[in-house]
Structure 1
């Protein structure tokens, strides 16, 4: 995956044939399912389509056509809802929807077995990670951890643009500890098909409490982000901060939370990518707004003074945000504890317009765009 060698010549051209480079250019602009079918036309076409150069060009063309920044995970892609429960055949069935509207497109059965509770990439013990590309019906089981023991685990996934590769970041922490101790962090690279430990000098642990967010790692400006507790200074003062991991340089960075964001009574805090920018979300309660979500956005990445509180979204009852779209909407799980009622709604943060969502069951949500990733790698399984 890390090498981008030029594709081979398709075939000897006849007088009225299109030049090979034009044919390749056309193929790189087709949907992934169509490209897979064209592999059967002839051996030269198959050889060209399976090169890393063609795969990366196809991804970039698709991202450009749909206004998607593959380093920031935004644009008109798709959303995959992965429910916590299995169907009658003990398989998880994912729902694919449009990112902009969350309108349902199709349903896809996960082709591999998942232990109960592990579908969100979160568990308290050893577990298996799969890379899965529904566009081309291929998946890959990742090798075992290079760490001896995994406790509380969170996982992030990102495209490594500088080397045309993919990385998985896995953090094993100790949330029950009274004070943070160094996280055990490892990174998987698809091209090498291996894990390796990544060092971080800070004493930090993934922050998990009763208001822990179900939002995934946001990918903004080429870096993955999560919330940690850290010990700082000679007085070893504990504080809550935003940690980032640059996918290209593999460097960690600590970002401060917005001023005033930690003063309210909070039931949930989390990070999201909001219209391409890093956002900090809190769900709490105040006399002025009652239950509400407050949203801060970092207008200039890395500039702490650019945090700006842009929206307050009021609610009549308890709620949990499980997804944020790039177009300014929140997918909210509303809870009415006395009546044991629950409802999932899509809320526009600007207009406060609510849209009933046709998926009314607990689920994890992730973004997805069509690609040919996993097509040219080793140890890939088809279904």
Structure 2
């Protein structure tokens, strides 16, 4: 395989929550602390007719020239109090939900600058990522008996409160959607594809839009199109810590077999797609209705997807977005070798709680619609022997495709299920249906969903 190396364990760049915060001296907080310190100093200087140089207060610390004057010490004490108050205030604000912070931007110019600051947004996201209340679930519903109407809503991930917390959302596209694909989320940003007809266009021509959407702030940007139509692609979104840039990878894994497999990468800073070579000796994998994956799994600074060697062995392909080197994360043979009498097989890889996962659904109609779902978890990344069979569900009522979306604190896994010959889909766990479940409308409702974290990161600031 071209440019092949084992795994990407030496390039484990995670998402925003795993990255170091930028140098704090660049933060608006420290800039304002210096300003506040100068203002306090100037206030006392008006009384003393004496100046203290601005550079004597920096990085949140008070540094003054030696003096025997007690008044100078009073000035220092006040500057320290100002600094401590601002630090405490920032610590409190980082624990608040996004909607509250958006309202608090109107409190003062300082609060507005602080909440818009990159350092503050990063600190807020790091807290949100580990806060269960900040974990949200985006759901799209299409009703085929209502002229292909698409509804967007978001809710908590609580098994109990999902219905009560449901909030309707407007589509980020300016047109009426006729098709929607939710790819993935990263740092609170959701990558979404919308196909629609124009509001003022009576022709049958479709508009296709690829959008980056922050559901918390309701901001979105329109992204350029890759060479292949997005509807044929599986996409992934990740952060490149080396170039400090967000990147999108698109692979035409759902294209017709007559097309060669193509990979394109988009750097948000450059704003243009660039085509790169696909690894030699690796074939595309067919799953239920598509390649078996809804998105490219992003972990340790690399995108992952399932491929098959020319000798018929399945393997996980990795692509490091920093050095653009391919690698392999091997699977155990027993993970993908099943009885040939199974009629429908769906396979893919995903990421759950920072671990690479392999999932599969097998359907054996001759045994009364017997279906088996299995989930494997790699406990130690790039260690083949660490693959562990985590879940096995055998049920005659299981859909033909079950793909994991989220793992709860109690290790219960949320699954998105689809059935052959039926447009409906649903969310469920091994314990039963998951929220927003309506038995009367299951036959005409198609659902998609992805988990995201509340974030202040603006997609408009990334280009």
Instruction: Give the TM-score band, short-chain normalised.
Output: 0.7 to 0.9
Is the CA contact 1:126–1:151 (under 8 Å) kept in the aligned structure 2? Answer: no
The equivalent residue for 1:224 is 303
Is the CA contact 1:218–1:271 (under 8 Å) kept in the aligned structure 2? Answer: yes
Is the CA contact 1:283–1:292 (under 8 Å) kept in the aligned structure 2? Answer: yes
**Does residue 141 in structure 1 map to residue 222 in structure 2?**
yes
Structure 1 Cα separation of the partners of residues 99 and 407 of structure 2: 25
The equivalent residue for 2:12 is none
Is the CA contact 2:221–2:460 (under 8 Å) kept in the aligned structure 1? Answer: no
Which entry has the higher C-alpha Rg, 1 or 2? 2
Structure 1 Cα separation of the partners of residues 429 and 178 of structure 2: 29
1:82–1:217 CA distance, 2 compared to 1 (3 A): farther
The equivalent residue for 2:102 is 36
Unaligned runs of 5+ in 1: 67-74, 232-236
Query: How much does 1:42 deviate?
Result: 2.5
Query: How much does 1:87 deviate?
Result: 11
Is the CA contact 1:126–1:149 (under 8 Å) kept in the aligned structure 2? Answer: no
The equivalent residue for 1:98 is 156
| 1:47-84 superposed Cα distances (whole Å, 9 cap, x missing partner) | 23222222222211222444xxxxxxxx9712211224
RMSD: 3.9
Q: How many residues are paired up?
A: 357
Query: How much does 1:173 deviate?
Result: 4.7
Query: How much does 1:207 deviate?
Result: 2.6
Structure 2 Cα separation of the partners of residues 375 and 175 of structure 1: 29
Query: How much does 1:92 deviate?
Result: 3.4
TM-score for both structures, normalised by structure 1? 0.77
Query: How much does 1:141 deviate?
Result: 0.6
| 1:192-215 superposed Cα distances (whole Å, 9 cap, x missing partner) | 444334444435454334453354
1:343–1:157 CA distance, 2 compared to 1 (3 A): closer
Structure 1 Cα separation of the partners of residues 435 and 172 of structure 2: 26
Indicate the structure with greater helix content: 2
The equivalent residue for 1:45 is 111
Q: How does 1:174-253 map to 2 (within 5 A)?
A: 175-177=255-257, 181=260, 183-204=261-282, 206-210=284-288, 212=290, 213=292, 215-231=294-310, 237=311, 239-253=313-327
**Does residue 368 in structure 1 map to residue 452 in structure 2?**
yes
Is the CA contact 1:80–1:367 (under 8 Å) kept in the aligned structure 2? Answer: yes
**Does residue 267 in structure 1 map to residue 340 in structure 2?**
no
The equivalent residue for 1:302 is 382
1:329–1:65 CA distance, 2 compared to 1 (3 A): closer
SS of match in other structure, 1:9: helix
| 1:222-270 superposed Cα distances (whole Å, 9 cap, x missing partner) | 4332223444xxxxx4543222233455433222333223322342112
The equivalent residue for 1:280 is 358
1:375–1:188 CA distance, 2 compared to 1 (3 A): closer
Structure 2 Cα separation of the partners of residues 133 and 341 of structure 1: 29
1:9 to 16, 28, 32: 32
Structure 1 Cα separation of the partners of residues 96 and 247 of structure 2: 26
> After alignment, is 162-171 or 37-46 more displaced?
162-171
> After alignment, is 25-34 or 217-226 more displaced?
217-226
1:292–1:151 CA distance, 2 compared to 1 (3 A): closer
Is the CA contact 2:417–2:428 (under 8 Å) kept in the aligned structure 1? Answer: no
Structure 2 Cα separation of the partners of residues 301 and 59 of structure 1: 25
Unaligned runs of 5+ in 2: 1-15, 41-77, 184-192, 196-205
**Does residue 119 in structure 1 map to residue 213 in structure 2?**
no
